[in-house]
Structure 1
Amino acid sequence: MFLAIAVILFCTPFIWWFLFLQKYKSLSVIPGPRPIPLLGNANDLGQTPQAFFNNCSKFMKEYGDVFRLYIADECKIFVANADFLEQIMSSNVHITKSRGYSLLKKFVNYGLLTSTGSKWKTRRKMITPTFHFKILDQFLEVFNASGDILVDKLSQEVGKPSTDLYPYINLFSLDVICETAMGVKMSTQEGENSEFVDSLRGWLDIFMVRFFSAWKRYDSLFKITSEHSLNEHYLNVLQKYSSTVVERRRSEKAQEKKEVTDSDFGIKRKVALLDMLLESEYNQSLTNDDITEEINTFMFEGHDTTTSGICFALLALADHPEVQDRVYEEIEATVGDEKYVTMKQLQDTRYLEMVVKEVQRKYSAVPIVERQLEVDAKICGVDFPKDTTLTLYLYGVHQNEKYFPEPEKFDPDRFLPERQSERHNYAFVPFSAGARNCIGQKFAMLDMKVTLIKILQKYKVSPVPGYKPELGMAAILKSYNGINVRFQRRSHEMK
């Protein structure tokens, strides 16, 4: 009996593995590295963000722009093909995020990023007015004010042989996100609310460790690690802060008289995402927890992605002085030395917009997004079983030579109107596309453009000799050895 039990225990995992492969047998037509029993291709991807990034690029070169990987009990199909992306992203059926997003739920719960079905559709409809043109125009006040503080802080870096941009831009982005999401001035650039800043950074660092761990991603196993108690502390700080802000603002709105100054929205002139949620037609059904999860979602999605975009834009401009000179000439012609950047001026900086788009192509802020199939589906002629994970490899499609010849070359002219019209509509999708595209993409573009204008008005950036970013893939594209440039004042600023 003991021997029989031992044989059963030994064989069961391999029987499970055989049945697992049989379930996804139809996907054998998609190339990929050979998996080993039970672990699949987990070891092939690597255990660090840098290894994951490099191996994904290697697999794409070896197997093409659609390839297959097995990670433990999950079949992942990496997609860097525009035709394939179009069928997925344009679908109103395949909108459910993958299991990997469960690592975020302790912070964002079931907010817009992680929810699906009717809840996601209701929340999407509710939050969309926040990014209406008139509201975005009001957000320019925040972009400009926070940008002025950033420019002032960067003055202490002038003349130094190297400056890591990330700490400066990250605090700036936090100030912007917190004020536009919650209507609260955090003043993190001035050194205030350090516990909140440290907790957000600490939680994100642990999140990335769990993302690349074969076992820490499981809550039951993560609880026995040394990081668990620290992770809970960070989450408590973040949740307490945002929930306190929501409770206080709801109480204030219950006491104040309604001041209607905007005929389209019936809201006060100065608005934040929090106010939009409290004043929504759905607000009677929203609890404080419901609103908090959306605020936290916006903070999570918004601050690191814009940080990445601004940092890599400055790095690219430092490495390509001819592009930087052309951007500066455009700024001089449209904005001059005015301190407040207007919406009209932003619309006129068309070359800068092309530069930002090329940055988003070459250094895709969000390298991958994932969907989980909830039903069997035929996509591009292939039968996909339910539960297949579709890893939409946005960085890969942006590096695909079929759509972007010489992809390593930084060339903003790729985004001239006539060249864009010749390209597949789903070849450039930095903010995803279709029903689940990024709701804040216009917000992000305006934020990045205002910030770059303000910095370039005052400073010229140049490369650090011998420096090369060490790229890694996590929630965002990140350089693990900093993003380093040199600052010098523009000649007219020397006085």
Structure 2
Amino acid sequence: MWILFIAALCCLYLYTWVRLYPGKFPVYPGVIPLLGNVSILSGGSEIITDPDDCYAVLSSCMHRSGAAKKFAKTFIGNGLLFGPVSVWKEHRKLINPTFNQQVLDGFIETFNSQSRRLVQELQESAGKDSFNQHVCLEKNALETVCLTTAGVDLTDQNEFNKKCLTAFRGVFNALAKRGMNPLLHFECFYNISNTKKEELQHVKITHELTNIVLRRKRESQDKEQNNKSDTKFKPFLDRLLESSDKLSTQDLKDETNSMILTGFESTSGTLSYCLLLLGTHNNIQEKCYQEINEVFGDSDRDVTKDDLPRLKYIEMVLKETMRLCPVVPYTTRVITEDVQLKNAVLRKGHLCFVGLYGAMHHPTWGPDVEQFVPERWLDTSGLNPNAFAAFGHGRRNCVGKVYAMMMMKVSMVHILRAYRVSGEYNRMRIKNMGINKPVDGHQITLYNR
């Protein structure tokens, strides 16, 4: 009875939404009152995501889905990730210079020192049974992002950092539960649900992290008042604090929280998938190790900015990992003007889901699209540039893509120089919580070289 009752409410919810907002949803022939087009789900319909169509939408439309913004508002607020276009434009102008190459080159020393810390932490699991490497990589990436973009050292609060990572995962779980339950889309139902309580408990901890970062940064600035640089190319948080006349206190918190979240989730997720794939494809892992030997020889020295362009095969491996296993599998846009696709027109006012995963698994990649083939990046002249969407497309793409690649390259050198990796990628199961995560963690086995 309860199942029938909930199903009826869901149908009523969908019917009411369409009646209240006519024209907001595309109409497909064969619509049935109340049930809509649910009948087509019983057939063999196929959905294909075209890279050029994805590019067309992301390049012309910048408004995020209202539902996504509503769901994430308590967690992230109006930062770059989900903020309205008017806010995004102003904040992006301020933030763009913070990822200038001059600033990024200054992070190399931190990338090296943090990678060495990671290698030491992983040593506890070397030569033992398989373990979830992502736990170590997440914490290290969180601390690295805070050390670089924020200029704040959080390595002295190890247990709190672990607590924060648990809280971040808890928020994603809560938001995923809400997204999958139509009843919880209504604020009246969500506000009295246990899922809402869970979200607020976890969000409180993540925001506490942001408050600690801001407080420590202000304290360090007070001590260094006489050493201010006049250059416009300054790290992320320095730039924002100096623009306090343009940003409210809440704006500052929202952008800091967004940068911490996107910074550590994207890099740690990609590195975890990459090591799991290398552990499955030993021949590719060996090619990475050979390249490291060619660049560094027997030396254990740090990676320099001049070394990064020479690590061509490792870059190909990272790009192929992001193509095969994107951390962010989709994004959303509100169509603000009619968009011509190859075989259809998206009308103004519609909501569009853009399948980044679909674009990067599209047949245009060739018959080996589902295979891990880094060599496909040797000659990109035959590749459709719109088919690689790991960092998005258009003006609202990822602002930290160069930062992420630099950080991951340095980490890969230190990890593969110290360990041989074993894993079974084909046994991994994925769950989506807005971002893709393995159901059972990123299980690998490490062996000292």
| Alignment TM class, shorter chain as reference | 0.7 to 0.9
State how 1:76-225 maps to structure 2 within 5 Å. 80-91=49-60, 94-98=61-65, 99-187=67-155, 190-225=158-193
Candidates 432, 444, 447, aligned match of 2:404: 444
Task: Report the Cα distance in structure 2 between the residues aligned to 1:425 and 1:477, rounded to whole angstroms.
Answer: 23
SS at structure 1 position matched to 2:332: strand
AA in 1 matched with 2:115 = G
Matched, 1:284 2:245: yes
Could you tell which deviates more after superposition, 157-166 or 326-335?
157-166
Task: Report the equivalent of 1:370.
Answer: 332
**In structure 2, what is the Cα distance between the partners aligned to 1:43 and 1:254?**
63
Q: How many angstroms apart in 1 are the aligned matches of 2:249 and 2:127? A: 48
d(CA) in 1 for partners of 2:39, 2:396: 28
Partner residue, 1:273: 236
Asked if 2 retains the 8 angstrom alpha-carbon contact of 1:181 and 1:273, the reply is: yes
Aligned mates of 2:98, 2:280 — CA distance in 1: 36
- Shift of residue 320, structure 1, vs aligned partner: 0.7
Q: Is the alpha carbon distance of 1:132 and 1:225 closer, same or farther for their aligned partners in structure 2, counting shifts above 3 Å?
A: same
Q: CA deviation at 1:244?
A: 4.7
Cα displacement (A) at 1:181: 3.5
Q: Is the 8 A contact 1:471 1:477 kept in 2?
A: yes
Contact 1:42 1:214 in 2 (8 A): no
For 2:262, the aligned partner's letter is E
State the shift of 1:35 in Å.
Answer: 8.0
- After TM superposition, give the deviation of residue 309 of structure 1 in Å: 0.2
Q: Percent of counterpart pairs with the same letter?
A: 27
Cα-to-partner distance string for 1:52-86 (whole Å, 9 max, x where unaligned): xxxxxxx9x94241xxxxxxxxxxxxxx2022122
SS in 1 for 2:184: coil
2: CA distance between counterparts of 1:95 and 1:214? 26
Once residues 39 and 186 of structure 2 are traced to their aligned partners in structure 1, the CA distance between those partners, rounded to angstroms, is 15
Separation of aligned partners in 2, 1:153 and 1:330: 24
2:34 is the counterpart of 1:37: yes
C-alpha deviation, 1:377, in angstroms: 4.3
* Residue type at the aligned position of 2:375: D
How far did residue 39 of structure 1 move? 7.7
For 1:251-302, what per-residue CA distance to the aligned partner results, in whole angstroms no more than 9, with x for missing partners?
Answer: 654675342456453x5xxxx42112112xx431222221111000111212
Counterpart Cα distance in 2 of 1:43 and 1:186: 52
**Which sits farther off after the overlay, 147-156 or 382-391?**
382-391
2:433 corresponds to 1:474:
yes
Alignment pair present for 1:334 and 2:295: yes
- The change in CA–CA distance for 1:14 and 1:303 in structure 2 (over 3 A counts) is closer
CA contact (8 A) 1:182 1:245 kept: yes
Letter in 1 for 2:247: L
Quick one: distance in 2 between partners of 1:171 and 1:18? 44
CA distance in 2, matches of 1:243, 1:191: 17
Q: Which residue of 2 aligns with 1:302?
A: 263
Number of aligned residue pairs: give it: 438
State which drifts further: 143-152 or 377-386: 377-386
Contact 2:68–2:82 under 8 Å retained in 1: no
Please tell me the residue identity of whatever aligns with 2:446: F
Could you state the TM-score of these two structures normalised by the residue count of structure 1?
Answer: 0.80
Paired with 1:255 and 1:275, the residues of 2 have a C-alpha distance of 14
| Structure 2: tracts of 5 or more residues without a match | 1-8
Taking a change above 3 Å as real, the CA distance of residues 225 and 21 of structure 1, as seen in their structure-2 partners, is: closer
Q: CA shift at 1:342, angstroms?
A: 1.3
* Structure 1 unmatched ranges of 5 or more: 1-8, 46-58, 66-79, 491-495
The one-letter amino acid paired with 1:274 is: L
Contact 1:181 1:295 in 2 (8 A): no
Measured at CA, do residues 34 and 487 of structure 1 come closer, stay the same or move farther in structure 2, by a change above 3 Å?
farther
1:405 match: secondary structure:
coil
